[in-house]
């Protein structure tokens, strides 16, 4: 019995893009219509009843956002993915607001498109890496009121790495944190985990069920865990971040863990969703962003590998746009968590 191939309607006013996309998607997907404007995309979707609709944003007749709004009303089962040259969090926020499940920037067409459609077709979200590091970030207003010139990745990160991963469900997040922790411990690395209580308990249980002796790892300072519900009030008296307290708490922790790792000729891995968790706990956006900046400074100072995460559902709220832009700017890589190997089947 043959397996049905998901069907796609493609809309882009550049013929070369339509040809390239069709080549990339075949034979994993069937492009049942390739049109040049938003109105033609709606007509093709009504005629073909596709699984996915791939839209550019800038098109004649109807632009991508207008077409997506109508598709959401007329054919809500069709999953919309934007393929666009726009690398700006304003556009991403609008794309999610009109119901898109994916956002692929054209400069990453070859590397991201196929994975994006597979991920979206299975019910998850996909956002191209670095899509948020766009034009808005070129004029980030720092807390002292001045505009900082954008740093290059080399200038910002040195030997450290600070990775932001997006996730669509708590289960994905917990699974990913558990996988990284397990692999790191198996490789002899030193780990710091800073999570909300429920996430921390789930990751700990996942490690124990994988055969990790957490008590032994804690004894030898290979694994240090901290509950944000307990830590946040210490760092944020009166609801605002106290930078001196933040430094007094985390600097010795990073220093001692990094020293322990160097003795074993390995590295320090830090796991958490600091900014996102602080927002969840009701702390101000300004404090969450500043905590992420200080977190990044420590990662660079002690050459740590930091894995942060952010729920993709939060992106649909336009109020979070500037916060997300600032948070992403503190990272060396921005990737969608749904892209890790267990989530993508090509």
Q: Kindly report, residue by residue over 233-265, the tens digit of the pLDDT.
A: 999 998 999 999 999 999 999 999 999 898 888
- Of residues 168 and 22, the one with the higher pLDDT is 22
Looking at the structure, tell me whether residues 288 and 169 fall in a common domain.
Answer: yes
Looking at the structure, tell me whether residues 147 and 39 fall in a common domain.
Answer: no
Looking at the structure, tell me whether residues 149 and 231 fall in a common domain.
Answer: yes
DSSP state of 106: G
Distance of CA 226 to the CA centre of its chain: 23
Looking at the structure, tell me whether residues 154 and 258 fall in a common domain.
Answer: yes
Residue range(s) defining the domain that contains residue 72:
7-131
How many angstroms separate the first and last alpha carbons of the chain?
A: 20
- Whole-number Å distance between alpha carbons of 304 and 160: 5
Looking at the structure, tell me whether residues 186 and 121 fall in a common domain.
Answer: no
CATH of residue 95 = 3.40.50.2300
Span 155-183, average pLDDT: 76
> Domain end: 131, 159, 181, which one?
131
- Whole-number Å distance between alpha carbons of 307 and 331: 9
163 belongs to a structural domain: yes
- Of residues 155 and 288, the one with the higher pLDDT is 288
pLDDT band at residue 321, thresholds of 50, 70 and 90? low
Q: Kindly report, residue by residue over 216-231, the tens digit of the pLDDT.
A: 998 888 999 999 999 9
What pLDDT, on a 0 to 100 scale, did the predictor assign at position 140? 30
- Whole-number Å distance between alpha carbons of 290 and 296: 10
Looking at the structure, tell me whether residues 154 and 178 fall in a common domain.
Answer: yes
Span 332-346, average pLDDT: 41
Q: What is the tally of structural domains in the chain?
A: 2
Looking at the structure, tell me whether residues 327 and 225 fall in a common domain.
Answer: yes
Average pLDDT, the chain: 80
2 belongs to a structural domain: no
Contacts of 64 by beta carbon, 8 Å cutoff, 6+ apart: 11, 38, 55, 56, 57, 58, 82, 84, 95
Q: Kindly report, residue by residue over 28-69, the tens digit of the pLDDT.
A: 999 999 999 999 999 999 999 999 999 999 898 889 999 999
pTM for this model (two decimals): 0.60
Looking at the structure, tell me whether residues 145 and 125 fall in a common domain.
Answer: no
CATH of residue 251 = 3.40.50.300
């Amino acid at each position: 019995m043959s397996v049905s191939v998901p069907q796609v309607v493609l809309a882009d006013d550049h013929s070369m893009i339509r040809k390239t996309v069709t080549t990339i998607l075949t034979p994993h997907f069937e492009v049942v219509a390739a049109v040049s404007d938003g109105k033609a995309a709606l007509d093709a979707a009504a005629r073909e009843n596709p699984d996915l609709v791939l839209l550019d944003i800038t098109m004649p007749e109807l632009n991508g956002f207008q077409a997506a709004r109508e598709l959401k009303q007329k054919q809500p089962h069709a999953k919309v993915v934007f393929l666009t040259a726009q690398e700006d969090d304003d556009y991403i926020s609008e794309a999610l607001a009109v119901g898109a499940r994916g956002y692929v920037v054209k400069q990453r067409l070859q590397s991201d498109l196929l994975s994006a459609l597979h991920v979206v077709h299975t019910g998850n979200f996909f956002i191209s890496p670095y899509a948020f590091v766009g034009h808005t970030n070129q004029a980030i207003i720092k807390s002292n009121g001045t505009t900082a010139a954008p740093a290059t990745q080399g200038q910002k990160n040195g030997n450290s790495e600070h990775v932001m991963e997006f996730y669509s469900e708590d289960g994905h997040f917990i699974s990913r944190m558990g996988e990284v922790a397990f692999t790191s411990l198996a490789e002899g690395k030193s780990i710091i985990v800073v999570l909300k209580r429920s996430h921390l308990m789930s990751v700990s249980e996942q490690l124990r069920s994988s055969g990790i002796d957490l008590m032994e790892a804690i004894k030898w300072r290979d694994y240090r865990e901290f509950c944000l519900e307990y830590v946040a009030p210490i760092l944020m008296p009166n609801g605002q971040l106290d930078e001196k307290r933040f430094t007094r708490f985390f600097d010795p922790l990073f220093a001692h863990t990094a020293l322990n790792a160097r003795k074993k000729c390995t590295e320090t891995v830090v796991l958490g969703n600091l900014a996102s968790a602080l927002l969840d706990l009701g702390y101000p956006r300004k404090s969450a962003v500043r905590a992420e900046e200080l977190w990044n400074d420590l990662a660079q100072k002690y050459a740590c590998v930091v894995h942060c995460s952010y729920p993709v559902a939060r992106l649909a709220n336009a109020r979070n746009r500037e916060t997300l832009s600032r948070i992403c700017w503190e990272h060396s890589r921005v990737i969608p968590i749904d892209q890790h190997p267990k989530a993508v089947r090509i």
